[in-house]
Structure 1
Amino acid sequence: MPLPQPVLHPPFNIVRLSHVELAVTDLAKSRAFYVDILGLQVTDETSDTIYLRAMEERGHHCIVLKKAETAEARDLGFKVYSEDDLDRAAHFFKGRELPVEWIERPYQARTFRTRDPQGIPLEFYAQMERLPPIHQKYALYRGVKPLRIDHFNCFSPNVDEAVAFYNEIGFRVTEYTEDEETGRLWAAWTHRKGGVHDIAFTNGRGPRLHHTAFWVPTPLNIIDLLDLMATSGWVANIERGPGRHGISNAFFLYILDPDGHRIEIYCSDYQTVDPDLEPIKWDLKDPQRQTLWGAPAPKSWFEHGSPFADTPIIDSILKAQPIIAP
């Protein structure tokens, strides 16, 4: 199926991805992972919730850790440009007969929850409490020195359908993998903020959250994190990498938190702000698409993901499989 033409004037204006809530079973252990190992900053915590931000972020939080009996991913948060955009977004989702529920969220102004057509839970807001800058408080930098949340990647049972919907609300495709036999999309990377992606979709049982990614300054930060994890009891949580993707050209590392939520540490992609930027096409049979160089991805990387709360999981339509780099 051909890629849809980009919608440069969507019905409402999404600025970027913002945050995600992760349900975790052991809050203290998750705190140790995200704060002591990764280096995210605590902006508030209660007996059952921890709010975190990265070093360059001015919004109150990019990850919310919530104590729960079962580990799962909850709403993927997106920031819109204005309160008017927020109202137009709610009108859009209602017009598509998708649920719109106005909710109270700590540290956020008016916020509504909805779902995309495949069932991914989404959250939209225009204003979040702003915090003083800390990006030059170098005494606070720890772990991998995360600068900002960068993107989500989700397993999708129908990538063509996912791309068509997000294209309609202004997400633009930067790179994609196509199965030559069927003409269907196997994966696609789409953005709002001018990087390679704010949200990507990978063929697989879903919808499920494949990973949340954080941007770091250099590949050396990733090497430092690997040394830290290997000598502080977290070596078994290193899943894949380091290496470099063909898609996005990013230097990467994938690690698992104590509940198995996957985190990517990510740097070295490229700018995509031009409205006439042409998407880059990859053949599913090209092994360098997912690993330009580095060890091949383990089986878990293609199969394991975090279920979304109250969201049925179905098998993917496309049965094709990529060639895995040797």
Structure 2
Amino acid sequence: MPVPAPILYPPFNIVRLSHVEYRVTDLAASRAFYVDTLGLQVTDEADGVLYLRAMEERGHHCIVLVEAEAPSVAVLGFKLFDEPDLDKAADWFAAQGLPVAWVERPYQARTLRTRDPSGIPLEFYVTMDRLPPIHQTFKLYNGVKPLRIDHFNMFSADVDASIAFYNAIGFRVTEYTEDAESGRVWAGWMHRKGGVHDVAFTNGRGPRLHHTAFWVPTPLNIIDLLDLMSTTGYLANIERGPGRHGISNAFFLYVRDPDGHRIEIYCSDYQTVDPDLEPIRWDLKDPQRQTLWGAPAPRSWFEEGSVFDGATMVDSALKAQPIIAP
């Protein structure tokens, strides 16, 4: 099944992904991982809540950590272009029969809460509190030196349907994996901000969040993080990598936080600004689509993910699988 043509004038204008809210079971352990090890900056903290940003970000936060009894994902956030886009988005989601609510969110102005058809909780805003720049405050650079949040990847029980929906609201496909036997899309990468992706969808039991990714300056920062994690009690949290993806061309590392939420450390993908850029197709059985150097991913990478609050998971009917590490 071919990917849909991009919609260049969508019903409302999404600028980029913005933030994720994680439920975590031990906020002190999560702080040690995200702040002391990865190097994200604390922008505020209250009883049971921690707000973080990366070094190049001017918005108040890109991750919210909320202490809870069980780990989960509360919401994925996106920034819209201007105020009229919020009302256009509310009208559009309501017309699709999807839930629409206006919610109060700390450090954000008017915020729209909804879900996509699979049940992923989404929120959209225009204005988030701005903080002074810190990208040249080099004494703050620690851990892997995270510069900015880069993308979300979700498990989807129907990747073709997920791509069709996000295409309708203006995301454009950059690369995709096709199962040659069924003709269906097994995974797809879609962007708004001009990189390879703001969102991606991987075939599997869903909806679940596969990972959140952070952009870092160079592959050497990833090597530094591996040295740090392997000598500070986080050896078991290193899941996959380092390596270079065939899809996206990015250098990568996947690690797990204390609750199992997967974080990708990511750099070196390419620019996709041109609206007529043709998507790149990969065959599911191509060993270089996962890793350009041919190394397959472990089984956990295809099977484990973070649940979304309030979403009902279903199994995918597409049972095709890429090469999996023994």
Please give the TM-score of this superposition, normalised by the length of structure 1: 0.99
Counterpart amino acid of residue 146 in structure 1: P
Give 1:324 shift. 3.7
Alpha-carbon distance between aligned partners in 1 of 2:310 and 2:49, rounded to the nearest angstrom: 20
Q: Is the 8 A contact 1:242 1:294 kept in 2?
A: no
Partner of 2:252: 252
Give 1:295 shift. 4.1
Moved >2 Å (runs of 4+) = 323-326
Partner of 1:31: 31
**Gap change, CA 1:234 and 1:253, over 3 Å in 2:** same
Partner of 1:101: 101
Counterpart amino acid of residue 280 in structure 1: I
Give 1:46 shift. 0.7
Give 1:303 shift. 0.3
Matched, 1:149 2:149: yes
SS, match of residue 249 in structure 1: coil
Alpha-carbon distance between aligned partners in 2 of 1:325 and 1:42, rounded to the nearest angstrom: 37
Task: Spell out the pairing of 1:1-326 with structure 2 (5 A cutoff).
Answer: 1-293=1-293, 295-324=295-324
Alpha-carbon distance between aligned partners in 2 of 1:301 and 1:321, rounded to the nearest angstrom: 12
**What per-residue deviation string (whole Å, max 9, x for no partner) do you get for residues 227-264 of structure 1?**
00011111110000000100000100000000000000
Counterpart amino acid of residue 2 in structure 1: P
**What per-residue deviation string (whole Å, max 9, x for no partner) do you get for residues 270-316 of structure 1?**
00000110000000110110111264311100000000001111000
Q: Is the 8 A contact 1:287 1:325 kept in 2?
A: no
Percent of paired sites with the same residue: 78
Q: Is the 8 A contact 1:48 1:67 kept in 2?
A: yes
**Gap change, CA 1:275 and 1:297, over 3 Å in 2:** same
CA RMSD of aligned residues (A): 0.9
Alpha-carbon distance between aligned partners in 2 of 1:294 and 1:75, rounded to the nearest angstrom: 34
SS, match of residue 18 in structure 2: strand
Instruction: Give the unaligned 5+ runs of structure 2.
Output: none
Instruction: Give the unaligned 5+ runs of structure 1.
Output: none
Counterpart amino acid of residue 198 in structure 1: D
Q: Is the 8 A contact 1:243 1:294 kept in 2?
A: no
Q: Is the 8 A contact 1:287 1:324 kept in 2?
A: no
**What per-residue deviation string (whole Å, max 9, x for no partner) do you get for residues 182-230 of structure 1?**
1100000000000000000000000000000000000000000000001
SS, match of residue 248 in structure 1: coil
Q: Is the 8 A contact 1:53 1:60 kept in 2?
A: yes
**Gap change, CA 1:252 and 1:294, over 3 Å in 2:** farther
Q: Is the 8 A contact 1:244 1:292 kept in 2?
A: yes
Q: Is the 8 A contact 1:214 1:264 kept in 2?
A: yes
Q: Is the 8 A contact 1:157 1:315 kept in 2?
A: yes
Give 1:141 shift. 0.2
Alpha-carbon distance between aligned partners in 1 of 2:172 and 2:119, rounded to the nearest angstrom: 21
Counterpart amino acid of residue 12 in structure 1: F
Alpha-carbon distance between aligned partners in 1 of 2:261 and 2:74, rounded to the nearest angstrom: 12
Alpha-carbon distance between aligned partners in 1 of 2:130 and 2:46, rounded to the nearest angstrom: 20
Alpha-carbon distance between aligned partners in 1 of 2:23 and 2:324, rounded to the nearest angstrom: 32
**Gap change, CA 1:294 and 1:39, over 3 Å in 2:** farther
Give 1:323 shift. 2.3
Q: Is the 8 A contact 1:288 1:325 kept in 2?
A: no
Q: How many residues align?
A: 326
Give 1:31 shift. 0.3
